[in-house]
Amino acid sequence: MQAISRLSLVAFILFSTLPALAETPQQIRQSYTSEAAAQQAGFTASAKRGDTFFRQRFAINDKMPACTSCHMDNPMLAGKHAVTGKDIKPLAPQANADRLSDPAKVEKWFGRNCKEVAGRACTPAEKADFLAFLSEAR
Q: Alpha-carbon distance 71 to 80, whole Å? A: 6
Closest separation in Å from C-beta 112 to other proteins: 5
Q: Which alpha helices (DSSP H) does 18-62 contain, by range?
A: 25-39, 47-55
> Three-state SS across 71-86?
HCCCCCCCEECCCCCC
Can you tell me which of 49, 65, 81, 107 binds other proteins, judged by CB under 8 A? 81
Q: Is there binding between residue 55 and other proteins (CB under 8 A)?
A: no
Q: Is there binding between residue 49 and other proteins (CB under 8 A)?
A: no
Residue (6 or 108) nearer to other proteins, CB: 108
Q: Is there binding between residue 112 and other proteins (CB under 8 A)?
A: yes
Can you tell me which of 48, 55, 57, 86 binds other proteins, judged by CB under 8 A? 86
Closest separation in Å from C-beta 84 to other proteins: 4
Task: Residue 81: count other Cβ atoms within 10 Å of its Cβ.
Answer: 14
Residue (61 or 123) nearer to other proteins, CB: 61
Q: Is there binding between residue 63 and other proteins (CB under 8 A)?
A: yes
Which residues, at least 6 apart from 81, have a Cβ–Cβ distance to it below 8 Å? Answer: 70, 87, 88
User: C-alpha 39: how far from its chain's center?
Assistant: 18
In the complex, which residues of this chain contact other proteins (CB under 8 A)? 63, 80-81, 83-86, 88, 109, 112, 115-116
